[in-house]
Amino acid sequence: MSAKKKQTPLMRQYFKIKDEHPGTILLFRVGDFYETFADDAQLVSKELGITLTKRNNGGDQTPLAGFPYHALDNYLPKLVKKGYKVAVCDQTEDPEEAKKAGRKIVEREVTEITTPGVTMSEKLLDHKRNNYIASLHWDGSTVGVAFSDISTGEFALSHVDEKNLDSLLAAIQPSEILVQQKKKNKLDEKLTHHNISYIEDWVYDGDYGYNLLTEHFETHSLKGFGVENLKVAHVAAGSLMHYMQETQKAYLRHLRRLYAYESSEFMSLDAATKRNLELTASIQEGGTDGTLISILDDTCTAMGGRLLRRWIMRPLKRLKPVQQRLDAVEKLYKNTDIRQTLREELEQVGDMERLISRIAVGRTNARDVVQLKLSLAQIPRLKSQFSGIDDPLLENISSRLKLLIEVQERINTALKDDPPASVRDGGMIEDGFNDELDELRDIAKNGKKYIAKIKDDLAKEHNIPSLKIGYNKVFGYYIEVTNTHKDKVPESFIRKQTLVNSERYITPELKEVEEKVLSAEERSKTLEYELFEELRLYVAEFADDVQQVSHAIAELDCLQGFAEIAFRNNYAKPEVGDHEEIDIKKGRHPVVEKSLPMGEPFIPNDIKLDNDEQQILIITGPNMAGKSIILRQTGLIVLLAQVGSFVPAKEAKIGLVDKIFTRVGASDNLAAGESTFLVEMNEAANILNNATPRSLILLDEVGRGTSTFDGLSIAWSLAEYLHNHAPVAAKTLFATHYHELNELEQMYERTKNFNVQVKEHDDKVVFLRKLIPGGADHSYGIQVADMAGLPQVVIERAKEILKNLESHSLDITNKNGTIENEASSKKEAAKNLSEKVEKQPETSQMTMFQTHVDPRIETVLNKLEATDPNRMTPIEALMLITELKRLVD
């Protein structure tokens, strides 16, 4: 506050502009530096590691930190990547003009606000990843969602039930989310983990948003875009358009289309599933190493890379488009020569989507425009490859590849092939494009020769051999004629000075030439910029056409990439149908098989699931045997098939899946106060509440985060529920160490036991990685612990304890070597109890884990419920089991 008590004119201007842009770091151009003051200076100094100094502000010492203006591209991205919004305030007039006008302070204004979700900077954008900003608006349980990538021109609207909002946000992964100010303290906790920006409430009032959209798109309604009925989303889209216009300070002419994002068109993948299957980010490192996209991305263009990521995150759910993609991939797979030629041509195509966006909003230079021209020049070469392929989807792509010859010719005529990076320094317009520019360039280059030519022409015209042209600071260039010839001077000459032996004159023509000579270089730069702006605006008018061409090229790039990966990695074309069967022969994990040591083969496995006979597979086996890999590879093969890619298998029949759910691994969410077990149960609850018979569920170790009795009970009950409850009877792979679950095969007809085969030799375990029918009864945990390098004394003691457990007793020996207590193992107790369950028809099957049972079993359950096994002594456990046994008998 003290900084505002006494302010210099500069600081008054700074604080006025700062107050107009709350919530931003203001980079204030002062001469050759961008400066920050007060709180901004302290923050910037800390975040960028630059020196914090002080400025004398009317006697007050205001904190100051800054950097040279030419370093903006280095420092600005660092601030935005940390989540800050940055307003760039530039000088909008020449300081000399301000002096002439008698002003001490030059005019300044904010020319751009860069935020995490709204930027055109190549330094901030990943060329193979979209940078979405989303806007949300609630109407009861319905959420209107609008999202856009301003760098590519994509703009979409959707309505979604609030419970499905997480899934939608997981699909688009926005860098920034806009929310109405009044929701600030009422947001769901899950949303607060995103980068949230709050928008003033008035933006959400009335028809402001709808009118803003129709005004921008120059339409009477939004019917032509197919989004007229998405009323709640109109409000979200209006606030998003408002925010983008306010930050970019430019007409966003490249945003020419809206489309309705129909989540019903795509397979549902919640955030946990995307994380567990490691589609685009690895669980451990967060990077792309070890992810599906790292294996699948063989695209040649940035546009193709971004589209591939969208395809992976949004697998298709309708049969026809899936089959169209697969057929197109097959044609390219079989035509190696055509595929290789396409790849060579695609590698010469620049990022046309982002090029045209920067051109449209004026964040561009001549090099961008030339790159667009060169990219358009590849289109005839691409189209020529389609003549040898008969495929509907590829033919459709070819028809969308407009040549845009007039754009290419205009750019080629106007710009040099290798223009400079700056549009203000000249040297970018081709010679011969503009007569005035050619003249200015000639004058700037040959000024003295030009003046000499004028002298010779005047001397000859007026027959004055001694005529001279001179220059002084008083009145610039002048014509000097000796008294001998002054009677030949024409009336058009204006006398300026009389000397002893001569007269000095000026003419309007000479003054015009003087102006040209003295300012030719500066004027030529200004004219070049004006000509470039004319060209830019001309090219921007074709933004819609370029965007359509870009999307067609991206689609082609993805399809050829699928074909190339399939050819290189021996993938097979899946048979996708509208049925409820998944039958995979010799399936492989696409990532794991590429990461194995040289010479080590990947062991493929078969998986068969259907809703009639093999709905639930209980998969047991030791740690490290490969259970988790089998689960994940099944999910990835199904996903790849519905993306439209060939799959790592010998054969695959895939019935369309509407959702994939995973419950894999152990993690906690300490920030939200959620333990590992609570996170596990949250994910399990999400599955049971949202699965359908068309879903695929991958469960890995449900119930391991709590006590044995609790965990086994939950796992058993969950498996029963998936089998018996028709609305959620999904195809399920259930990997577990609870060998008691093998009994479910005898109780439920659609439940089958499988195990991952191992061999034991000299107390060592050999993993065969092969999935075979039947259940396992041994986890080999001690052998795995031995492989991990636990001390041998620990291993040997563990073997002793295991032996006692398996013989139904637990010896606890004190330091004196005497046995203190003895009790039956909890595992055996659970097994004994489950064996007592009366076998009944499936529709009325009663188990120890159900509540409506006879009074004896109900008494047993009540006693178990009141018991905490983790706090019992062995003798107390023995007494409890004796009592329970008596009750059951």
Going along the chain from its start, the domains and CATH numbers come out as 2-114 (3.40.1170.10), 133-265 (3.30.420.110), 297-404+542-569 (1.10.1420.10), 435-535 (1.10.1420.10), 575-777 (3.40.50.300), 826-888 (no CATH)
Which one-letter amino acid corresponds to residue 507? T
pTM over 0.75: yes
pLDDT tens per residue across span 478-501: 999 999 998 999 999 999 999 999
Tokens found for residue 47:
């975040």
Tokens found for residue 196:
């949230």
pLDDT tens per residue across span 211-264: 999 999 999 999 999 999 999 999 999 999 999 999 998 889 999 999 999 888
Which parts of 582-626 fold into alpha helices (H)?
A: 592-595
Going by C-beta distance under 8 Å and a sequence separation of 6 or more, which residues neighbour residue 249?
110, 111, 112, 113
- Annotated binding residue at 879? no
Which parts of 668-707 fold into alpha helices (H)?
A: 676-690
Closest-CA residue to 690 (of 735, 731, 656, 660): 660
Q: How many residues does the chain have?
A: 889
CA distance 461 to 123: 61
pLDDT value of residue 842: 41
DSSP 844-879: G---TT-SS--HHHHHHHHHHHT--GGG--HHHHHH
- Annotated binding residue at 785? no
CA distances from 281 to 278, 631, 643, 662, 685 (A): 5, 18, 18, 16, 24
Sign of the Cα pseudo-torsion (276, 278, 280, 282, in order): positive
**How would you classify residue 225: left for phi > 0, otherwise alpha for psi between -120 and 50, otherwise beta?**
alpha
The residue ranges of the chain whose pLDDT is under 50 are: 1-3, 668-673, 809-853
- Annotated binding residue at 627? yes
> What separation, in Å, do the N-terminal and C-terminal C-alpha atoms of the chain show?
82
- Annotated binding residue at 525? no
CA distance 618 to 609: 12
Q: Write 332-339 long-range contacts (CB < 8 A, 24+).
A: 332/389, 332/394, 332/559, 332/560, 332/562, 332/563, 333/563, 333/566, 333/567, 333/573, 333/646, 335/388, 335/389, 336/567, 338/385, 338/388, 338/389, 339/560, 339/563, 339/564, 339/567
Strand order in the sheet with 176-180: 196-199, 176-180, 133-139, 142-149, 154-161, 259-260
Which one-letter amino acid corresponds to residue 266? F
- Annotated binding residue at 623? yes
Closest-CA residue to 116 (of 195, 28, 198): 195
Q: How many Cα atoms sit within 13 Å of 70 on the Cβ side?
A: 3
What's phi and psi for 333, nearest 5 deg?
A: -65, -40
CB atoms within 10 A of CB 161: 13
Question: How far from the centroid of its chain's Cα atoms is residue 346's Cα?
Answer: 23
CA distance 488 to 493: 11
Which one-letter amino acid corresponds to residue 840? Q
